[in-house]
Structure 1
Amino acid sequence: MDTQPQPNETNQPPQPPFPHPGAETLRSPSRLIASIPGALGYFPNEAVILVNVYSPPASRGVLDIGTYIDADVGSTGSIQRALQSIPLEAHVATFAVIVTRVPNSHMVAVAAEGLRKAADEFGEIVEACWIVSEVADGTPYRLVFGPDEDTAGELWGWVEAYTNGTVSSVVSTEPMRPLIDHGVLPELHKAELYAHFAAVFDRDVATCEALAQRAHQRGTELVDLTRVAPLLARGDIERACDVFVGAPNASILDSDGNLIIADVFSSIEDVELVAAMLSRNTLRDFLIVEALDHPRSAGAVLLTIARNFGGAIRANALCLWAMVAVSLGLNGWAIAALMTAQEEVHGHSLSLLLANVMGIGQGHALLELCRRGCEETWDGLAA
């Protein structure tokens, strides 16, 4: 199986990891498997999950967990693409978990063998692999392949329940805490997570379709105004930021589909203005700090825009929504938003950048990067 080359340090940590935010997840395979639903935002079925571990630059001994990658257990191509998508920068190790109700099937044997043999010029890619029928409290799992117990104990501190054990409490894992804080649990299926960004009210869709052309035109005019009369442009831009402040302080997650335009926006004029700001990348960046400073209200605004507009407006709304989600610890939902943005606008640059940074477990760095970019955009308006 051909995979992208990885740097020399990818196959094992230089020394036993020190305590860090992901330490609880990496304490045992039992906890690592239990963390999957919270990290993905849904319960995987008939899937191969890749959990990637990274060592941040200039942070020796500290490990971050990157984005969890989901592949179809019955598709060699899907698994290969997942392996090839592993971010390479500062990569330390990858652990695989096969979730299947048919552990003795031919397709599972093929998937396990492909994971075992996956290698590049620096060695094996997958450090260890376990199999489990479902990710639920108390479900038995067993090791499919991996280093011997002594080596696993030395490298990862995995002494008990390494070769086999039962899944620990799913609700008590680190990735679950933000979900519980927002009154939700992981979705039962991946499709349900992605449906979060789909339209929920036909009348709102019709309203936004009628506004879209004017929003794009207004966005073009506003960009021109930032060049020739920045003080005049500043007024509209500040009013758009104020929409985030004035929106209801709702939950960023609206799994029941209750958010509609009339509940979120004070006027259709505000809908058009925010859509105009999201129609152009240079205008979008003005909104970042205000969105991060008012995550719940901004989340409601951005989700409503994303659900009812298409094209660049939808993609940019999803990106800003993803930033807000990361700030609240909802990484799985953020990744889903970024993947949806990619589907909407192929090659969308900001969603690619954000997904890559999140992929190596640097969500905190992502937010700092976004804030700094927003501040530079405002500085440019004043120049």
Structure 2
Amino acid sequence: MNISTPTQPIRTPGDILANIPGILGFFPSESVILISIQPSPHGFSMGPVARLNLNDVPAALQEVMDAFHCGNPESIFGFVLSQRQEEDLWDILHSLYRFQDRSGVGIDACWLAEELSTDTAYDLIFGHASEDGEGPLQNWMEGTIPAISTSHSMRECVNNGMLPELSRNDLVQRFKDHNPYFGKEEISAMERCCREIARQLRAGRGYQTSDPVQVVKRLIADVRFVLSEVESLEETLENEELLCAAAMWMSTTWTRDLVITELVSAPREAGDLLLAVARTFQGSIRYNALALYAASQVSHEFGIYAGPALSVLVEEAPHHNLGRLIAQGYRSGMGRRLVTSLCHGCELAREAAGLGADAPQSSFGG
């Protein structure tokens, strides 16, 4: 299951469909797309968007609805994307039509289309429209998908230097590819060194001082310096010094929690750095890096990679507490509120480490 959280204005089902690749970051196929429609100052807009494999219906519907209820859904729309014959989809369509969650809320309308491509036809399968075309959805019963290349979400993708992948597998591969510049033995040695340095810092020793408060202050200053040195993902993958510095932060809960504010305040630099760390190391270092990568992308206006990063994290480490917390907040459409909470937690961690409320704040813009 993939859930993203856009806020796009609603005009027609075709406009919604045209925006889905840019929202999810890939072109879904043989999928069910569920969209929470929410009131906005300009009418109605798209809230959280969830994608399900056809085979996951109806089992995963309740989980999606639980996430949607954390917002303020006015309606729930569904889109079935499949090239199967309609009679072969009957059980899935019937499940969507009959579904009601624990609070009695169901899917208000559902459309069927063969694929997400320009000029592809879509038809209303069920919804609030009578047989003679009367009703609130009478102008939404059928149509074709407009130019995907000119949709709002696609323009945002282009403006940020990326295009949606052709499939979900292509998208998540971004988070599964390993660093090609270092061998296993090198990485193991780097990891041992990072963990040892993190333990020394936790004991109040490091940065040429034995004053625990000074250790924390210099750690935070070091984070800012390291982020200022990040140029690109590819260059960071080759840079052992940058990788080891960030891996040390991700080695323990204590160091990780002390650096959150700096990371989410510099989403571009932190994104490249944390993704490089996640692709280099394994275990808790990788999982902490993926979690804070997602948090940093949520704090970015264009956070298209947060969802797939969290999906990979939850698949690999379902019991990782921070990852699970961030995933729940993101899927509920409360990503920015969650980032605020994470920064507050960072402040508390710093206070517990001896830094007062007047400790210097990040110099990066959010």
TM-score by length of 1: 0.79
How far off its partner does 1:64 sit?
A: 6.1
Alpha-carbon distance in structure 2 between the residues aligned to 1:151 and 1:325: 43
Equivalent residues in 2 for 1:360-375, closer than 5 Å: 360-375=332-347
Q: Is the 8 A contact 1:299 1:324 kept in 2?
A: yes
Q: Is the 8 A contact 2:181 2:237 kept in 1?
A: no
How far off its partner does 1:271 sit?
A: 2.5
Pick closer, same or farther for the CA change 1:120–1:346 going to 2, 3 Å.
closer
Tell whether 2:86 aligns with 1:104. Answer: yes
2:198 aligned partner: 219
Equivalent residues in 2 for 1:1-383, closer than 5 Å: 22-24=7-9, 26-54=10-38, 65-73=46-54, 75=55, 77-86=56-65, 87=67, 88-92=69-73, 93-106=75-88, 108-148=89-129, 153=136, 160=139, 162-204=140-182, 206=184, 207-225=186-204, 229-248=212-231, 250=232, 258-259=234-235, 261-262=237-238, 265=239, 268-381=240-353, 382-383=355-356
Pick closer, same or farther for the CA change 1:78–1:219 going to 2, 3 Å.
farther
TM-score by length of 2: 0.83
SS in 2 for 1:314: helix
How far off its partner does 1:183 sit?
A: 1.7
Q: Is the 8 A contact 1:215 1:276 kept in 2?
A: yes
Alpha-carbon distance in structure 2 between the residues aligned to 1:315 and 1:62: 39
The aligned amino acid for 1:142 is D
Runs of 4+ in 1 over 4 A off after TM superposition: 59-64, 149-152
Q: Is the 8 A contact 2:230 2:236 kept in 1?
A: no
How far off its partner does 1:218 sit?
A: 2.4
How far off its partner does 1:259 sit?
A: 4.9
Alpha-carbon distance in structure 2 between the residues aligned to 1:291 and 1:62: 35
Q: Is the 8 A contact 1:65 1:360 kept in 2?
A: no
Pick closer, same or farther for the CA change 1:64–1:220 going to 2, 3 Å.
farther
Alpha-carbon distance in structure 1 between the residues aligned to 2:93 and 2:235: 43
SS in 1 for 2:305: helix
The unaligned stretches of length 5 or more in structure 2 are 1-5, 357-366
Alpha-carbon distance in structure 2 between the residues aligned to 1:62 and 1:205: 54
Pick closer, same or farther for the CA change 1:143–1:331 going to 2, 3 Å.
farther
The aligned amino acid for 1:193 is L
Alpha-carbon distance in structure 2 between the residues aligned to 1:138 and 1:208: 49
SS in 2 for 1:102: coil
The aligned amino acid for 1:98 is V
How far off its partner does 1:371 sit?
A: 3.0
Alpha-carbon distance in structure 2 between the residues aligned to 1:176 and 1:123: 35
Alpha-carbon distance in structure 2 between the residues aligned to 1:230 and 1:208: 30
How far off its partner does 1:151 sit?
A: 8.2
Pick closer, same or farther for the CA change 1:216–1:189 going to 2, 3 Å.
same
Q: Is the 8 A contact 1:41 1:187 kept in 2?
A: yes
> Taking every aligned residue pair, what percent have the same amino acid on both sides?
25
SS in 1 for 2:116: coil
Alpha-carbon distance in structure 2 between the residues aligned to 1:211 and 1:133: 49
How far off its partner does 1:338 sit?
A: 1.1
Pick closer, same or farther for the CA change 1:220–1:177 going to 2, 3 Å.
farther
Alpha-carbon distance in structure 2 between the residues aligned to 1:333 and 1:152: 38
Q: Deviations over 1:55-106 (max 9, x none)?
A: 6xxx899866443222222x1x454214433313245232111001124242
SS in 1 for 2:204: helix
Alpha-carbon distance in structure 1 between the residues aligned to 2:61 and 2:173: 22
Q: Is the 8 A contact 1:48 1:79 kept in 2?
A: no
Alpha-carbon distance in structure 1 between the residues aligned to 2:150 and 2:350: 41
SS in 2 for 1:144: strand
Q: Is the 8 A contact 1:65 1:361 kept in 2?
A: no
SS in 2 for 1:188: coil
Q: Deviations over 1:13-54 (max 9, x none)?
A: xxxxxxxx8352x22211111121111111011111111235
Q: Is the 8 A contact 1:259 1:300 kept in 2?
A: no
Q: Is the 8 A contact 1:96 1:130 kept in 2?
A: yes
Pick closer, same or farther for the CA change 1:176–1:288 going to 2, 3 Å.
farther
